[in-house]
Every structure is written in structure tokens, then in C-alpha cells.
Amino acid sequence: MFLHRSRSLRGVGRISRAQPRLLHQPHHRPFRHWHSTRTDRNQNNTRRPVSTVGRTVWISIGVLAWGQVCISYAYEPLRDNGVFTNLTQSTIFRAIPAKLARPTERVENELYQPITGDKEIRLLILEPGAREDVLECELVNAELSWRTRFEALSYAWGDDTTKHELKCSGHVLGVMANLHDALLDLRLPAQRRVLWIDALCINQADNDEKSKQIRLMHEIYSQAQEVLIYLGRSDASVNGAIESMRWLDWKLMPLYVRQFLLSSNIGMASFFVEKWIKMKPINDQDFSWNPIINLLRRPWFQRTWVIQEAVIPKHAKVICGDQSIAWAKVLRIVDAIRYYQSSVKRVPGYHLIYETISSVDLMRSARDNRHPKIYILGQRWYRPLLTGRPMEGQEDSKLLDLILMSRRYKCTHPHDKIFGMLGVTAEDTSSKLLEPNYEISEFDAYRNFVLWEIRHNKSLRVLGTSSQKSSRQRTSPSWVPDFNRLDSITGLTGSPFSGSYVDASAGMPMGVRESNNSTNLHIKGSIVDTIHTVGKRSFTDRSTRLSKRQRSDQHLSVYDQLQVNRGMIEEARDIWLEATKGLARGLGPSPGDRIFDTNVTDGRPSPDRSISPGWEPFLRVLFGDVSVGSKSSMFIKEITTSFLRLTLAEDQLPEEYTKSEEVFAIKALGYFAAIARSRRFARTDMGLVGYVPMRARRGDLVVVLYGSQVPFVVREKGDGSYCLVGECYMDGIMRGEGIRFAKYENRDIELTLV
């Protein structure tokens, strides 16, 4: 009866749409609903906040993503091209007069009026005129402030002794050809142009003034409206170079997208990016690389002072003749050219701009540290977590690193190898030791920097640098290198060895003192062993042979590139085998007669793809233990094995065998160059093996200096003092074991470096 009634009521409900609460059927629903008093409407209401939160999250993610896109591809390009600066200059600053300074002590008939204020500089006012008119200008004193509006010129002084006349403030000056060309190209036809030019605005005959003005260069280039990077006058060799760079910037767009995704993707596999985003090679018949190559070979790219002039300012543009292009765009194009060369197609004449590519890479890295890109908070926090890579600009540029990276740059005064980097580094350089003083010798300037580096950073890393010294320079302390002639050597504490976690002194505190007018260094440490054998072979850079082949349009094979250093590797193998008979050899299988077993496939012999277990320690030492502590240790072992296998092959192996190996071998060549360049393979009396500086010789001592991460090589003198030779890599003592190996009388002693 009850069931019949419920069915009747349910039927009526379908017609009359009675309230749902009267029509519930408990036995048709899950048991839990007997204990619920909520209606379906209430239940639906409780689910709405969940969907609202979800929508809010997705909307927030979308807003953040689009915000980042707008910042990266709209705001930052406009900012880098100076659009906002030009807008400000044409509106706000048009109504505010410039702030000039009047010298308190005016000297009649003198071009350079005294600079008396701490923030006082000189500016050059270039008078308007046509190209064929005589150049005229005026020097005025000005106070450096936000109201002082000027453009700063960056150019290569050049070694040309030819002088051109310049009328300036009633005087006739002799200026070099490159500066004369710059003034002709920069002169406006109808209005004055206010410039800051170091060669003219600083009295080059007054060293005291030069020292003070160098301290202001950071502010000068920071507060300039724009920095004008002048590469020289236009000629037939660079005709159309700027237009070609603009076209290339558009053509290389797929590479920009690929680089962006590879550097910032979260959870996206790199091989998908490589597969989906491809670029067709540029037809060399339709496009000439020569004007761009010739432009990038201009001397400006190899001068020391231009580094800070290109890094410090927020806005800069490159000028050649009457053509110009944004400096930020040039940085992007040069980086893309390197990527195009390595991943798409060979660039004709690339070997001619290899040094320029490296120098621009240094400028871009330092510029990113000084002017980091803008990232929305979420990306800035979570990108390092998800990609394993830090954000750009998170680490400051160290002065020592900048000096080492700029070793190939040229400068007129040797002091400038140090002084030219003071405005680039983020470190505090206010110490009196780093005061730009041209009255002292360059070696006093170098010694002051070494002492500053040891005191300021409490590190002995600077002692790892080495250089060639002339007979005139050998009276300077052995621990002070000639920074104008540094060896092309990769420090054992820098990339790619930074992940190896070396600590040769086992955490012992640094103990350093100076004596004899700071010419002697007394450092606590331990003598570990004596060098027994030093190899005669040294690393040969493949770029020498590569350039010769490329000049005749011949491609250097991977096999030929590897064979360049085969002799050094075979010598290292023999030295290592001899060292295995010493006491320092660890436990493990003995090395066999062959590093790789030989397999016969289709009647042709080929080496086995895995290295013999007894030879694995040799492979590790050959590459300086670079894989230890690395997240890519298995990958590094794979590529180094391929490198050794192909290098020691008696003949060039069949193409079907080497095709997959060559890519790995070439990657490993870079690691080998990092450890072997400017070093030689060696062993000690005890049987330690590794790399020593190329000037090391038999009888030199391997020591551990307390506070240092790596061991050093020193040479004992007759009076009980020592000459520093340089840092070294010795397998078995890189993590503090050397102190235990040292004899008791050679532990915890003070070594005097002279």
C-alpha cells in the first residue's frame, strides 16, 4: 500500500512538478543520503566555490602568462630601444634647463678649466654643420645629476698616429682619425649635440684628474641619455651591413623562439622544441654575410674599455657611418648567429669573428647581471625549481672573473686591464688598493689587485692565474701575474669544474701575511710530493687548423679535429701507466693491454663501446674528474668515452659506426680543452697523476695552501723561499687527502712566496 502510494505520488509529481522534497525515494539512493538533510540545491551550491577557485587559478595563470609576454616582447624591447627615454626627453626635460657648473678658479687661455666638485665633469658641445664644414666644438664644465643631459661616445681610440685638427673653445687640438670620423658622422645639421668623450672631456695629461674621473665613469655611462657605440666610418667592406642585420634579425626569428623555449620551458622536452621549431638555412646566393662579418671585425669589439661602456648604460645604439641599430638588437643577432652556426648551417667566415662572438658573449652576460630581465614573481620563484637553472642576473660579476674573461682585449695602458673593469663589477671597489693611479707602475697595480682579491674575498683563487713574463718583468713577485699577458687557461674552480666540490685544504682556515713592502707572501700549508715527470706535449687548439680549412671552403672532419691532440693523450696514457706502479694507486682492476676491446663486424674491426674497467680511472683523470658531483655524470662519462675511443682509433672508423659517436666526441672536446689548455700531464714521485702548469718542471713541489680549494705547484729557491708556478690538478688529493699524504715535517708549515 505504501509502495503503491509512493508510485502514485511520483506519477503525479511528474505532471504537477511537486516539490522534490516530497518525492525522495530512499531505497533508490545510496544509504548515506538517509542521514543528509541537504537539498540538491544546497549540494550544488557547495560545489560552486570549488569551480570558482579553479576558474580563478586558471585566470590568474593566464594573466601572469600574458603579463610576462607583454613585458618580454613589448615593454622590454621598447625600453631597450630607448622609446621611453626619448619620450621623456621630448616632454619633461624639454621644460627643465640643463645643470651646468662654473669653475671656481677660472684659468685664462686654458682649454681645460679646473674640476673642483666631486660630481663635476666636462661636456663637449658639438656645433651644427654640414659634412664638409670644419668641426667646431666647446668644452663646458657640468655637474653630474639627473638634470644633466648628454650622450656618451664609445669608440676605439686606435693606434693611428695621424692627427686631424679640431677647433675647440678657441684652441686647435689634434685628434686621432677615428674620433675625427665619429664627430663628422655624429654632427647634426641644424642643432647642437652635447657629448661626453673621454679623450676630450678628461685632461689626458693630468693623471690625478684621470684617476678621479675614472671613478665617475660608472655614473657617467649610467646617467647618459644614450651611449653611442661608434664602429667607424662606412666603406665598401661594410656597405649595407646595418640593413642586413635588420633583415637577419627578422629571418632568425625561429631561432629566438627556440632559444626562449629551450631556456625557459617548464616540463617541455627539448627534443620536441627542436622537432617542432625548425629554421630553413639561409641561401648564401641570396644573402651575403661579408658586410656583417666585416662590421663585427671592427677594432671596437676587442678593446678593454668598451666593456663597461657597453654594459653599464641602459640604452645604447651602434653607429657605422650614418646608419644605426639598437645595441640590444645587435646582442640578440650575434647570439643567434652563433646558434645558427652550431645548429643550422655553417656561416661563411665565422672563424674570422670567433673572438668577437666571445667578447659579445661576455658583454651580454655582464649586461644581464647589471640589467636583469623583468620576471613576474611566480616565474622568478618557480622557474629555478622546475628547470634546475637560476634566473639570469642572480649572480653578480666578480672582478677577478671579468679580468680573466677579458684577457684577450687590448688596451693602450697596461693598468687598464684592472682599471677598465672597475665600473663593470658589482663588488665594492672603493679600497685604496684599487684606486686608479697611473703614477705607479703596472706591476704595482697588478700586485695591489692580487692583495685586494685575497683580503676582500678571503680567497686564494687569484694565485691560480699565470702568465708569461719578460726579462724586465721577472723582478716582480712570482705570485703577481702580468694581467696583460695572461695564459689562456681555465681555472680549476670555475666552470665546468665548479660542480666537482673540490677542497684540497680540507676546510683549513687561510693563513696569509705580507712582508717586505708587500713583495713576499707567507702562507700556511703542507708540502705533499715532488714532481717526477712532466709531459712535453701541450694542448693544440683546433681553431688554428679549422680556420685554414675554412678559408678554402673545406670542412674539417670530426676525426681530423680529434687527431690534433692525439699525441698529448697518448703521452698522458704512458705517464699514467707508469704512475700505476707507484704507491698512490688505489684498489681496483689493473689496466689491461687495451683501453677498448676490439670487435669484428662484417670482417672489419671496431673498438667496443665500453671502456675496460681498469682504464676508467685514466679516463676520469684525463678530463680532470669533471663528472664528479655533476647532475650529468653519466652523460659526461658517455661523451668522454666516445672522445677517447675515436681519438685513439688507428684509422678513421666506418661512417656507420662513428655517426652517432661524433656528436658526443665533439662535446667532450670542450671539456678536454678546459682542463688541458696551457697545462701538461705529469706524475709525482708518489705516483699521483694530473695536470700541472705548462711552466712546471721536474723537481717542483706539489703543495696544499690552507684556504685554497685546489693544490699548487711551487719551486724551491736556495734561501728557503718559493716561487709560485700555478694551480694544478692532482688526482687523489683534490678533497683534502694531500694533507694526510704529506710527511710530518712538511705539514702545517709557512711557505714564503717571493
User: How confident is the model over 516-535, as pLDDT tens digits?
Assistant: 888 999 999 999 999 999 99
Interatomic CA distance for residues 210 and 207, integer angstroms: 5
User: In this predicted structure, what is the pLDDT of residue 733?
Assistant: 95
Query: What torsion, rounded to 10 degrees, do the Cα atoms 24, 27, 29, 35 define?
Result: 80
Beta-bridge mates of residue 690: 682, 730
654 upstream amide cis, omega within 30 of 0 = no
Cell numbers linked to 310:
657597453
12 pLDDT more than 70 = no
Residue spans of alpha helices (H) in 17-99: 40-70, 76-80, 83-91
Interatomic CA distance for residues 358 and 292, integer angstroms: 16
Helix (H, G, I), strand (E, B) or coil at 544: helix
The pLDDT tens digits for 482-508 are 999 999 999 998 777 776 688 999 999
Least confident of 142-151, 235-244, 729-738: 142-151
Minimal CA–CA distance to 584: which of 715, 713, 712, 730? 730
Interatomic CA distance for residues 627 and 634, integer angstroms: 8
Dihedral sign for Cα atoms in the order 22, 23, 27, 33: negative
* 193-196 vs 136-143, strand pairing mode: unpaired
25 pLDDT more than 70 = no
Q: What is the DSSP letter of 75?
A: I
pLDDT classification of 50: cutoffs 50, 70, 90: low
User: In this predicted structure, what is the pLDDT of residue 604?
Assistant: 63
User: In this predicted structure, what is the pLDDT of residue 372?
Assistant: 72
18 pLDDT more than 80 = no
User: In this predicted structure, what is the pLDDT of residue 752?
Assistant: 96
390 pLDDT more than 50 = no
User: In this predicted structure, what is the pLDDT of residue 284?
Assistant: 82
Alpha carbon separation from 229 to 186, 319, 320, 595 (Å, rounded): 11, 6, 9, 54
Cell numbers linked to 257:
623562439
Minimal CA–CA distance to 691: which of 716, 717, 709, 673? 673
Interatomic CA distance for residues 50 and 58, integer angstroms: 13
- H or E segment to which residue 16 belongs: helix 2-16
SS3 content of the chain, % helix, strand, coil (to 5): 45, 15, 40
Interatomic CA distance for residues 293 and 311, integer angstroms: 22
Alpha carbon separation from 416 to 198, 254, 368, 449 (Å, rounded): 14, 40, 23, 12
User: In this predicted structure, what is the pLDDT of residue 700?
Assistant: 98
Percentage of the residues of the chain whose pLDDT score is greater than 70: 77
Cell numbers linked to 64:
601572469
CA 242 to chain centre: 26
Cell numbers linked to 39:
537539498
260 pLDDT more than 70 = no
Cell numbers linked to 308:
663597461
Dihedral sign for Cα atoms in the order 331, 400, 710, 718: positive
The pLDDT tens digits for 614-660 are 899 999 999 998 865 555 678 888 889 989 988 887 666 666 666 67
pLDDT classification of 593: cutoffs 50, 70, 90: confident
351 pLDDT more than 70 = yes
Interatomic CA distance for residues 6 and 228, integer angstroms: 91
Residues 6+ apart with CB under 8 A from 573: 595, 618
The pLDDT tens digits for 572-590 are 999 999 998 765 455 567 7
Minimal CA–CA distance to 465: which of 444, 446, 437? 446
Minimal CA–CA distance to 579: which of 537, 617, 613? 617
- H or E segment to which residue 332 belongs: helix 327-343
One-letter identity of residue 434? L
Beta-bridge mates of residue 701: 530, 714
Minimal CA–CA distance to 183: which of 175, 191, 217? 175
Q: Are 446 and 415 in contact (CB under 8 A)?
A: no
The pLDDT tens digits for 280-339 are 889 888 899 999 999 999 999 999 999 999 999 988 999 999 999 999 999 999 999 998
Minimal CA–CA distance to 712: which of 700, 697, 726, 694? 726
- Cα Rg, the chain, nearest whole Å: 34
The pLDDT tens digits for 197-220 are 999 999 999 999 999 999 999 999
Residue spans of alpha helices (H) in 284-376: 290-296, 306-311, 327-343, 354-370
Q: Are 570 and 648 in contact (CB under 8 A)?
A: yes
Torsional class of 274: left (φ above 0), alpha (ψ -120 to 50), beta (otherwise): alpha
- H or E segment to which residue 401 belongs: helix 399-405
User: In this predicted structure, what is the pLDDT of residue 606?
Assistant: 61
Beta-bridge mates of residue 318: 229, 325
Minimal CA–CA distance to 350: which of 408, 284, 406? 284
Alpha carbon separation from 328 to 67, 156, 233, 261 (Å, rounded): 21, 19, 21, 20
User: In this predicted structure, what is the pLDDT of residue 343?
Assistant: 80
- H or E segment to which residue 681 belongs: strand 679-684
Please identify which residue in the block is written with the cell numbers 631597450. 80
User: In this predicted structure, what is the pLDDT of residue 263?
Assistant: 59
The pLDDT tens digits for 656-705 are 666 677 878 888 998 999 999 999 999 999 999 999 999 999 999 999 99
387 pLDDT more than 80 = no
User: In this predicted structure, what is the pLDDT of residue 254?
Assistant: 82
